[in-house]
């Protein structure tokens, strides 16, 4: 049995005043922005940027966004987000997330996003675009072709 390849990236960030509510804890809607920042970091690391997808003629909109809160992040906390790519035979991009307090390494939140592929006429693709299969091969992942 071969070892599973895990593609992941990390990003450190600080909790800013503009991200918290009147209780000084991160407003729940900002977690979507943290996940987006992590996806962009992943894209830079693994050459899967949004503009690269667009250059191949595809969009990748979110169709699912989930959060699980473990403990609040507060104003001036220092955090770290870890993003992991979950390979699937479906024509989707699935990412799992973990957000940690950088000072205590305590898990603060987990989540998942799912993106599908649309062509530039906004038609849903039911099969994985060829450039994604090439990207998977380049990173040692099975393509399920």
Residue 39 inside a domain? The answer is yes
- According to DSSP, the residues that pair with 64 across neighbouring strands are 114
Per-residue pLDDT of 65-123, as tens digits, reads 999 999 999 999 999 999 999 999 999 999 999 999 999 999 999 999 999 999 999 99
Structure tokens given for 12: 């450190």
Domain total in the chain = 1
Domain enclosing residue 38, as ranges: 8-137
Residue 82 inside a domain? The answer is yes
CB atoms within 10 A of CB 23: 10
Tell me, what CATH number does 90's domain have?
Answer: 3.10.129.10
Residue 3 inside a domain? The answer is no
Residue 64 inside a domain? The answer is yes
> pTM, whole model, 2 decimals?
0.94
Per-residue pLDDT of 41-78, as tens digits, reads 999 999 999 999 999 999 999 999 999 999 999 999 99
**Residues whose CB falls within 8 Å of the CB of residue 72, separated by 6 or more in sequence, listed in order:** 25, 26, 108
Residue 101 inside a domain? The answer is yes
Residue 88 inside a domain? The answer is yes
Burial of 1 (0-12, 13-18, 19+ CB in 10 A): exposed
Residue 144 inside a domain? The answer is no
Residue 107 inside a domain? The answer is yes
């Amino acid at each position: 049995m071969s070892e599973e390849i895990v593609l992941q990236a990390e990003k450190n960030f600080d909790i800013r005043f503009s991200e918290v509510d009147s209780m000084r804890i991160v407003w729940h809607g900002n977690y979507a922005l943290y996940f987006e920042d992590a996806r962009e970091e992943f894209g830079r690391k693994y050459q899967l940027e949004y503009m690269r997808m667009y250059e191949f003629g595809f969009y990748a909109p979110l169709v699912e966004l989930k959060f699980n809160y473990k403990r609040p992040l507060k104003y001036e906390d220092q955090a770290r987000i870890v993003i992991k790519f979950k390979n699937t035979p479906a024509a989707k991009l699935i990412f799992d997330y973990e957000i940690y307090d950088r000072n205590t390494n305590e898990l603060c939140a987990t989540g998942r996003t799912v993106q599908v592929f649309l062509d530039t006429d906004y038609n849903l693709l039911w099969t994985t675009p060829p450039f994604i299969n090439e990207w998977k091969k380049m990173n040692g992942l099975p393509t399920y072709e």
